[in-house]
Structure 1
Amino acid sequence: MSERRFTIDHAADAAYFPIATSIGEGESVENLIVERPQGTLVLDFDGGGRLLGVEVLGAKALLTAETIRDAEVLA
């Protein structure tokens, strides 16, 4: 099983967990937004309804410190 990389942008307090191996420009055509008291999850889907990735807005509140530490930091 290959390890999937996920990213975090500390300035934006946002993380992204890709599900698909690669996501092409314009491939995400539908977003399902899940509001939580601590932040928001955005699920990205392609035209066939397949889940491409999950964006976490409010990452500091929604993710564990360990998860944040393991993320690839975006500059």
Structure 2
Amino acid sequence: MHIEYDRENDTAYVSLVEHIADGAAVRQLPVDGVGADAEVFLDVDASGRLLGIEVIGAGGALPVEVLRGASTG
């Protein structure tokens, strides 16, 4: 697992696999109930395998410790 955080855009991406090839994520599923200031999307491949998690508004949705330990982009 690898976490990248873009402070400027307040977005985080949690990669659950080592490498996601271009076009591998064929669906992006929204997650409800995260909070008013955050959006979460699950990236899945054609077989339904979860590849990664995108968090928009990450500063209000993820613990500060997680964001501090993330790679920045």
Deviation at 1:27, TM superposition (A): 0.5
Partner of 1:73: 72
For 1:21 and 1:69, the matched residues in 2 are separated by 21
Query: How far apart are residue 34 of structure 1 and its match?
Result: 1.6
Q: Which stretches in structure 1 are left out of the alignment for 5+ residues?
A: none
The runs of at least 4 aligned residues of structure 1 exceeding 4 Å deviation read none
Matched with 1:12 is: 9
State how many pairs are aligned. Answer: 71
**Structure 1 vs Structure 2 CA RMSD:** 1.0
Q: TM-score scaled to structure 1, two decimals?
A: 0.88
Shift in Å at residue 38 of structure 1?
A: 2.7
Unaligned runs of 5+ in 2: none
Percent identity over paired residues: 35
